[in-house]
Chains A and B, each alone.
Chain A
Amino acid sequence: MARLLVQLKLHLLRNALRSSAGAKVGFIASTIGAGLVAAGAFAILALLRGNAASVYLTSVIFTVFAFGWLMLPLLAFGLDGTLDPATLALYPLRTRPLAVGLLAASATGAWPLANVLGLLGVTVGLASDGFGLLVAVLAVLLQVLFCITLARFVTTGMAGVLRSRRGRDLAIFLVIPLFALYEAFAQLVPRLSAEGKLTPASFAGVDAWLRWLPPGLAAHAIRDASTGHPGTALLRLALLAGVIVVLGWLWVGSLRRALVTADASTQGSAVRAARLPFAGYGLRGTVAARFWVYQRRDPLSLMYWGVTPVIMLAASVSTITTPRYLVGVLLSAAFAGAFVGFFHSNSIAMSGPGFAVEAVALTGRRALRAYFTGQNIALGIIGVPLLAVVSFGIAAVAGHPVNGFLGLAVDLAGLGAGLAMSNILTVGLAYPVEKRAGSPAPRPADGFAGHPLGGTLSCLAVVGITLIPVIVACLTTHGAPAGIRMPLLVLGAAGYGLALVWAGMRIAAATAAQKLPELTQIAIRSKL
């Protein structure tokens, strides 16, 4: 069984090289990424040799790897066909050999190998003698086995949920904290390190409780073995092995249940609202109602709105506590407008095949103007207050809450420019999207991989250029009394933003009227 499942995994990996160009590129990039992670992890762990805090940092690195193994299958469920027990439920297989086979399949591939090779850096960084080396190798193997078993346990236990619509919805939301964590790491770690506030010794506190988790047990076992405490080292390894056995036992039980349990994919709950809002506002209101409902119920839309404040915070975090705080306030608002525009820059294709319902009713410029206006109204209703709150929050943290009005001015103009670009790009740069295994958000269909980049760059460039007059006005009027300056700037920017979004809507409607069947086909091709 183990051999068969390993062969299956190898076939799946090999077939990735035979499929579409996009999948091929993705597979090659992933393999290169695994190689880089292996080399990087090995180098970092090896460089810890002689460092007083080496065991703390090793604990943290081992825990980060385990966290990665835990999170990735939740985001990439379906990427590895051997992860889903439903694919094997049809066959007459006994649970225990199946479990062993699935573990072996999990251990096959570039990433598991990269984990082992990368973590073996501890043989240089933490182990010091023969016994230490032996324990280091054992600890790394047990750590990787723990990661695999943990990932299998979680994915098997949650397979029914992950296969369901709700589970896939929830998986998308994981993107927000992961993106926030990445931004925090990328922005704060270098800064705190440069300021001397983050040193290897800082991890001692974290290690105080990480040492009792399985990855910490592995790291400390190596340290103990290398500092003359063989008994403690072996005890820690035995404890780690015990955790793996318990986890494996739980996993086998979960697998046994999963093979005979129906998933919850069709068990949906009722929605509260029974009627569409904005009933009295014609076609514009009708479309606004649909977009409004989608902004609240579509997990991708919610994810976009969740990521927008993170982008704003990331754009301002490096300057927020410095005298150049205003750069952060204005820059965050500008980025927000550009990204709101980009996130909705393929809205017809992102409507998916359902757009056919709209296409049958939407023909002619007038109807299409109503369509884009309805969309912009729904996005504006959410975007304006959200961006305003974040801008005022950033200004308040900077200690200059009144300057939140400057952020608001840029928010309003930027949102106008962003929505205008979203309308224009929705028509001018439409591309079909597909939800694929391994990606919680839809990705461009084959042959359209460059379109999102084109959309991002266009939004950033156009929003940046159109915001120049507003930013110049904000920066050159600081001598004027705030009571006059702020309202004038906000009102002026709001009018400017409205003019931009009006122009974008007109251009988009005129273009869409000429190519509605083609846009419909793009939407129908989308697989959501």
Chain B
Amino acid sequence: MGQPAIAVHVLRKSFGTKEAVAGIDLEIAAGSFAGLVGPNGAGKTTSLSMMTGLLRPDAGQVVINGLDVWADPVAAKAIIGVVPSEARLFERLSGEELLEYAGRLHGLPAGEARSRAEQLLNVLDLAEDARRLVADYSTGMRRKASLGCALIHNPMVLFLDEPLEGVDPVSGDVIRRLLTRFVRSGSTVLFSSHVMELVEQVCDHVSIIDKGHIVMTGTIDQVRGGKTLQQAFIDLVGARAADEEVLSWLGSSSS
């Protein structure tokens, strides 16, 4: 393998006494469609925030395409795109203005930013709502607008945190196809999710994180080990079912 697109070394972050990320190591090859999966509170969002320069780590190193995110943030941020878990957008801009703004922030000339914004809005099926305020967008539309902002400067590496959460199947398919095309061109995607089916469908590499530790990483087949990813995941992080017998009253046959 050549130089990895994403290399994370002993990345660590604590909030008070809680260790959210406990010194993780991760390497993602260029051109990969990689997934970071884990249960709620496992440290996925914290890890991605540190990898993208949005949250200062307590220790560790993040290198994107040879650029250290925390030593040279300007250069590193220029080549990445980020879609956060909650769509962090400027609510009082229209969709069109938002994408143009994101493009211009990344240094695109105004004309180019406008033209790319228009094209992305078309592909993301937001053209009809391009002049509506983002504040009036639905969850799926916000997610797509957020993806547009992350893609407008054509990043080499794209980070997405729960990209399909709250997105309808049609929009989900649009996003999936766009990302697949993006990866096919040689770019890299790392996204977090707790939807195993989605990861299994689109990813060629997966890492499982639990309680701040990477408990397994490798190709999809390596991590599955002959089982479904869902089963492999549950085996690794442990089933957390509570005693259901106490709900004996629940169901049509009970009264």
> Is B104 within 8 A of A286, CB to CB?
yes
Is A267 among interface residues, defined by CB-CB distance under 8 A?
yes
A293 touches B92 (CB 8 A): yes
A297 and B133 contacting across the interface, CB-CB below 8 Å: yes
Could you tell me the distance in whole angstroms from the C-beta of B52 to the nearest C-beta in chain A?
7
Q: Name the residue among A297, A298, A354 with the largest chain B CB count within 10 angstroms.
A: A354
The answer, yes or no, to whether A453 is at the interface (CB within 8 Å) is no
Contact call A271/B56, Cβ cutoff below 8 A: no
* CB of B43 within 8 Å of the partner chain: no
Q: Is A3 at the interface (CB under 8 A from chain B)? A: no
Asked if A357 contacts B77 (CB within 8 A), the reply is no
A266-B80 CB under 8 A given contacts A280-B110, A289-B101, A294-B92: no
Q: Which of B94, B105, B136 contacts A361 (CB 8 A)?
A: B105
Once A360-B80, A517-B54 are accepted as A-B contacts, the answer to whether A354 and B89 lie under 8 Å apart by CB is yes
Q: How far is the CA of A517 from the CA of B74 in the complex (A)?
A: 13
Nearest CB to that of B86 among chain A residues? A353
Cβ of B214 to closest chain A Cβ, rounded Å: 23
* Neighbouring B residues of A283 by C-beta, 8 Å: 104-105, 107
Q: Residue on B with the closest CB to A518? A: B56
Contact in complex: B110, A357 (CB < 8 Å): no
Given contacts A360-B53, A528-B91, contact A266 B136 (CB under 8 A): yes
Q: A269-B132, A517-B53, A517-B54 are in contact. Are A357 and B88 (CB under 8 A)?
A: yes
Contacting residues, chain A, for B93 (C-beta < 8 A): 290, 293
- Is the interface on chain A under 10, 10 to 19, 20 to 34, or 35 or more residues? 35 or more
Q: Kindly state the separation between the CA atoms of A520 and B97 in the bound complex, as whole angstroms.
A: 22
Are A275 and B100 within 8 A (Cβ)?
yes
Contact A267 B114 (CB under 8 A): no
Rounded to whole Å, the gap between the CB of A355 and the closest CB of chain B is 7
A361 touches B89 (CB 8 A): no
Q: Which residues of B contact A363 (CB under 8 A)?
A: 53, 73-74, 77
Q: B114 touching A358 by the CB < 8 A rule?
A: no
User: Of residues 493 to 528 in A, which have CB atoms within 8 Å of B's CB atoms?
Assistant: 516-518, 520-521, 524, 528
- Cβ contacts under 8 Å, B92 to chain A: 293-294, 297-298
- Closest CB of chain A to B96's CB: distance in Å? 6
Which B residues are in CB contact (< 8 Å) with A352? 88, 91
Residues of chain A contacted by B114 (CB below 8 angstroms): 275
Query: How far, in angstroms, from A398 to B175 measured CA to CA in the complex?
Result: 64
Are A351 and B136 within 8 A (Cβ)? no
A357 to B148 CA separation, bound complex (whole angstroms): 11
A165 touches B136 (CB 8 A): yes
Q: In the complex, which residue of chain B has the Cβ closest to the Cβ of A278? A: B110
Please determine whether A271 and B94 come into contact, CB atoms closer than 8 angstroms. Answer: yes
Q: Is A274 an interface residue (CB 8 A)?
A: yes
B73 contact set on A, CB distance < 8 A: 363-364, 516
For window 56-87 of A, CB contacts with B under 8 Å fall at none
**Is A276 in contact with B97, judged by CB distance below 8 angstroms?**
yes
Q: CA–CA, A452 to B119, complex, Å?
A: 43
Residues of A within 8 A of B90 (CB): 290, 294, 351, 354, 357
Interface of chain A residues 261 through 283 with chain B (CB within 8 A) = 266-271, 273-276, 279-280, 283
Q: How far is the CB of A207 from chain B (nearest CB, A)?
A: 45
The docked-state distance in angstroms from the alpha carbon of A516 to that of B73 is: 10
In the complex, whether A1 has a CB less than 8 A from a CB of chain B is no
What are 5 A-B contacts with C-beta separation under 8 Å?
A: A276-B101, A276-B104, A279-B110, A363-B74, A517-B55
5 further interface pairs, Cβ-Cβ under 8 Å (given A270-B94, A271-B97): A271-B133, A360-B53, A362-B105, A524-B54, A524-B88
**A residues within 8 Å of B by Cβ?**
165, 266-271, 273-276, 279-280, 283, 286-287, 289-290, 293-294, 297-298, 351-364, 367, 516-518, 520-521, 524, 528
Q: Which 8 A-B pairs have the closest CB atoms?
A: A268-B136, A353-B88, A279-B110, A361-B105, A270-B131, A354-B90, A286-B104, A297-B92
